[in-house]
Structure 1
Amino acid sequence: MTGLRRRQELWLGALGVLLAFGVCEAVGRAGLVRRSYLPPASEVLVRAVELAGDRAFLDGVGATLWAWALGLALAVAIAVPLGLLLGSVPVVDSAVRVIIEFLRPLPSVALIPLVSLLLGVGIGTEVALITYASVWPVLFNTIYGLGETDPLAKETLRVFGFGRLAVLLRVELPATAPFIAAGIRISAAVALVLAVATELLSGFGEGLGIFIAQAQLATDGTRDVLAGVVWAGVLGLLINGALVWGERRLFPWTPQRRAVERGGGVLKERVRS
């Protein structure tokens, strides 16, 4: 049942992509929009494939992915311990909650001038902004996961003499891990958006955002701009797919997975009867 559902999702996703591709191709070919503004989708796709053989472009993509990975790793390293602390110690949570709620809504791109003044022009500014934007989903998912931990399991360990650290490592952290993984998956998308947006808006360094920004300045650069956007979308799709695959392999005991498996079992029993 699970395999059938995944195949259906893949087919529906492929159908949606083909429909979108067909609409963009038809609009571009029909001349409803000037080609300088919206070239046919086939031309954009061909250009995106050509860029795969451009060493300078691939180096820029590698620079973007390096900043993405570094910023995301720092966000996880900060958010998980902080989330465990805030979720475990209500006094600390109450003390810093106002500060967190003040900082969380601040848009990261609005901080580019300030961070650039503090850290200078370079990858440090990009990584700092990525880290800032990516820390929140992991942080709040960690806190929420701790709140969803089975209290009976924690009390059982305490009855048998286990201390606070043992309860955290043996019960709370394993129960919170799927929530942390979901937060990392959300933050991965946020980090990629910030990596490209920071390069695009700041105009320094190298990367996929720099390629798109420079293509905008060209006389006929719309095709390159859209090809760069296609690359950004494909990278996001691959990253999300890899993280979803990892979640399914690492945490097969999550409630959603058990519900799907139970549904498949019920269906099998009905077929047998």
Structure 2
Amino acid sequence: MKRSGRHRERWLGLLGVLLAFGACEAVGRAGIVRRSYLPPASEVLARAVELGGDSAFLAGVGATLKAWALGLGLSVAIAVPLGLLLGSVPLVDSAVRVIVEFLRPLPSVALIPLVSLLLGTGTETEVALITYACVWPVLFNTVYGLGETDPLAKDTLRAFGFGRLSVLLRVELPGTAPFIAAGIRISAAVALILAVATELLSGFGEGLGIFIAQAGLATDGTRDVLAGVVWTGALGLIVNTVLVRCERRLFPWTPQGRADGQGVRS
């Protein structure tokens, strides 16, 4: 039953994609909008497929994905230990709460000039901005997850003489892991947005954002701009799908994992 529901969702999702594609194709071919502004969807898709065979373009995509992976990895390495500390030690949380709440709303793109002055116009700046933006979802999910761990399980371990570190490793960290994974999934999308946006706004380095920016400056570059956008969306979809599947396999006791398991059994 669950399995049939999931198949139904997939077919509805495919139908939505086909309807959107058909609408864009019809608008592009009807002349409602000039082709130089909005080419038919089939031409954009054909150009996106064509770019898949361009080694220079693929090298740029690789550069964007490298910055994405480095920034996301650094943010996780910073946010998880910091979140465990803030969630476990109320005194530390109270001491840094004002600083955290001050820094969190600052948009990463607004820091491009400052970070560029400090780190130059290389990959380091892009990675630093991605890391800054991606720390927050993982950090707050970690803190929230610690607050949701089973107090009875923690008290039981303490009653049997387990220390603070043992309680953290045996109960709190496993209980928080699904929340951390959800934060990483959110941050993965943010990291991809920041990777492309930083290249697009700063104009330095190489990558998918640079390709889109250069195409936008060309006389008839709308098709290339939209093809670059298609690549960005496809990468985001692939990343999210992979992370969702990993979550379901790693944490089968969560609602998503249980639903997935029931679907397989049925």
Q: TM-score, normalized by length of structure 1?
A: 0.94
**Aligned position for 1:226:** 226
Q: CA deviation at 1:10?
A: 1.3
Q: Which residue of 2 aligns with 1:247?
A: 247
Report what 2:113 is aligned to.
113
- Secondary structure in structure 2 of the residue aligned to 1:121: coil
Structure 2 distance, partners of 1:11, 1:68, is 31
Partner of 1:46: 46
**Structure 1 position 213 matched with structure 2 position 213:** yes
Q: How does 1:4-23 map to 2 (within 5 A)?
A: 4-23=4-23
CA distance in structure 1 between the partners assigned to 2:51 and 2:263 by the alignment: 45
Establish whether residue 97 from structure 1 lines up as the match of residue 97 from structure 2. yes
1:260, distance to aligned residue in structure 2 (A): 7.2
Encode CA deviations 1:191-227: one digit per residue, 9 max, x unaligned.
Answer: 0000000000000010000000000010000000000
Equivalent residue letter for 1:105: P
Change (3 A) 1:89 1:9: same
Q: Is contact 1:79-1:135 (8 Å) kept? A: yes
Q: Which residue of 2 aligns with 1:162?
A: 162
Quote the Cα distance in structure 2 between the aligned partners of 1:31 and 1:162. Answer: 72
CA distance in structure 2 between the partners assigned to 1:220 and 1:45 by the alignment: 16
SS at 1:205 equivalent: coil
Structure 2 equivalent of residue 271 of structure 1: none
Contact 2:108 2:133 in 1 (8 A): yes
Q: Which runs of 5+ in 1 are unaligned?
A: 269-273
Residues 202-253 of structure 1, C-alpha deviations (whole Å, 9 max, x = no match): 0001000000000001000000000000000000000000000000000000
Query: How big is the shift at 1:6?
Result: 2.2
Contact 1:2 1:261 in 2 (8 A): no
TM-score between both structures, scaled by the size of structure 2? 0.97
Q: Is the 8 A contact 2:248 2:260 kept in 1?
A: no
Partner Cα distance (2:130, 2:253) in 1: 31
TM-fit CA distance, 1:181: 0.3
Q: Is the contact made by 1:68 and 1:127 (CA closer than 8 Å) also made in structure 2?
A: yes
Regions of 4+ moved over 6 Å = 259-265
- 8 Å contact kept, 1:28–1:38: yes
Q: Find the aligned partners of 1:2 and 1:263 in 2 and give their Cα distance.
A: 5
- Counterpart Cα distance in 2 of 1:60 and 1:39: 24
Matching residue of 1:127: 127
- Partner SS for 2:75: helix
Q: Distance in 1 between matches of 2:243 and 2:103?
A: 27
Q: Distance in 1 between matches of 2:263 and 2:199?
A: 46
Q: Would the aligned equivalents of 2:252 and 2:261 in 1 still touch at CA under 8 Å?
A: no
Task: After TM superposition, give the deviation of residue 7 of structure 1 in Å.
Answer: 1.4
Structure-2 residue corresponding to 1:194: 194
Distance in 1, Cα, partners of 2:75 & 2:116: 19
Whole-Å Cα distance in 2 between the matches of residues 156 and 2 of structure 1?
Answer: 36
CA spacing shift, 1:93–1:47, aligned 2, 3 Å: same
CA separation of 1:2/1:263 partners in 2, compared to 1, >3 Å: closer, same or farther? closer
Deviation at 1:259, TM superposition (A): 6.3
Q: Which residue of structure 2 aligns with residue 82 of structure 1?
A: 82
Aligned to 1:174: 174
When the two chains are superposed, the root-mean-square deviation of aligned CA atoms in Å is: 1.5
Do the aligned partners of residues 163 and 175 (structure 1) sit closer, same or farther apart at CA in structure 2, a change above 3 Å counting?
same
Matched residue type, 2:62: G
Percent identity over the alignment is 83
Give the SS at the match of 1:25: helix
Deviation at 1:130, TM superposition (A): 0.3
Q: Distance in 2 between matches of 1:38 and 1:260?
A: 40
Q: Is the 8 A contact 1:64 1:208 kept in 2?
A: yes
